[in-house]
Amino acid sequence: MKGEIHKYFTTKPNFPLDFEKHAQPIDTAIPPPTMDDAAGSETVCHLLALPAELRERIYQLVVVSAHPITIHIPMKGPASNDCTIPEPELLFVNRQIRFEVLSVYYGNNTFQSFYPQPMTAWLERLSVEKIRLLRKVRPFESGAWRRGDGKIEFDMQTQRFDMLSKLARFVAAHGRDVLEKDAVSGPVREGHKWERVHAGQAEKEGCRVGDAAVALKVDREWEVVMNRRKSE
C-alpha cells in the first residue's frame, strides 16, 4: 500500500484540484527537512510542486476523519496493552510530506477514549512534538450524571466541577507540559441537557488541580451506585 501511495504522488497529477480550504494550517514544531534529505533522490514528488495552500487542502481530505478516532485497548491477543493508532500512510511518502501532514493529522482530528487508561497509554507512546500538535482530545466520559429516572443525584454544577478537576489533573499528569489545556475536553450531562467543558476552564472556575474533594466524593458515590446495581 505504501508503494502505491508513493507511486501515486510521484506521477503527474490528473485529478481536479477544487477543494475547500481547511481550518488548521500547516504549522509544526517538528524540525523541517533539510536540503540533505532530498540529496540522491531519483524520483520527483509532483505533489510538492503544488502550491502549499493546495497541498494543505489535499492533506485535509486524505488524513482528517469525519468522526472522532477512538482509542481503546484490545481485550484479547498479544497486543492487549497496545494503544497505538496506525498513522496515515501518506506520512511515509517522504520526509517533506510527513513534516507537512503531521500538523494537519494531529491538529484537526478528534482523538477520544471512553475511559482514561487507553488515552494515557496512547499519550505515553507519542513524542512530545506530536502531543504539542493535538487540539481535540477527549480522554474520558463523565463518571456520573443525572438519569431520567432520578436514581443518580448529581446535578450539572457538581458534575461540571468534577469533570473540570479531573481534566486539569489529567493534563498535569500526562500532558508533558506541552499539551494545550483548551485542547482537552469532557462532557457533563443532566437528562437531555449536556455540554462539553475544557481543562482550560478549570483554573478560571476555581477548580484547582489539587482540589479533589468534589471529584473524590462523586467517584465514591458512583462506585456505591454501581456496586448496588451489580448486587441487584
Domain locations in the chain as residue ranges? 2-231
- How does pLDDT run across 7-39, given as a tens digit for each residue? 544 554 444 444 344 444 555 445 555 444 444
- How does pLDDT run across 179-213, given as a tens digit for each residue? 999 999 999 877 677 889 999 998 887 765 554 44
- Cα gap 20→36, rounded to integer Å: 34
- State CA 90 to chain mean position distance: 19
Longest dimension (CA), the chain: 70
Phi, psi (degrees; rounded to nearest 5) at 13? -65, 140
Q: Which three cell numbers stand for residue 128?
A: 512530545
For the chain, the straight-line distance linking the first and the last C-alpha, in angstroms and rounded, comes to 52
What is the pLDDT tens value at each position of the chain, 232 positions in all? 555 555 544 554 444 444 344 444 555 445 555 444 444 445 678 889 999 999 999 999 999 999 999 998 765 555 445 567 889 999 998 999 999 999 999 999 999 998 888 999 999 999 999 999 999 999 998 655 545 554 555 677 778 888 888 899 899 999 999 999 999 999 987 767 788 999 999 888 776 555 444 444 545 555 555 566 556 6
CA dihedral (182, 174, 143, 157) in degrees, to 10, reads: -40
pTM above 0.85, yes or no: no
- Cα gap 33→41, rounded to integer Å: 14
State the pLDDT at residue 28. Answer: 46
Task: Tell me what percent of the residues of the chain surpass a pLDDT of 70.
Answer: 60
Q: What is the DSSP letter of 75?
A: S
104: exposed, middle or buried (C-beta count within 10 Å: 0-12, 13-18, 19+)? buried
Q: Which three cell numbers stand for residue 86?
A: 496506525
- Cα gap 146→137, rounded to integer Å: 24
Burial letters 110-139, b for 16+ CB under 10 A, else e = bbbbeeebbbbbbbeebeeebbbbbbbbbb
DSSP states of 9-26: HTS---S----PPPSS-S
- State CA 153 to chain mean position distance: 31
CA distances from 163 to 45, 90, 101 (A): 47, 36, 32
What H or E segment, with its residue span, contains residue 187? strand 185-190
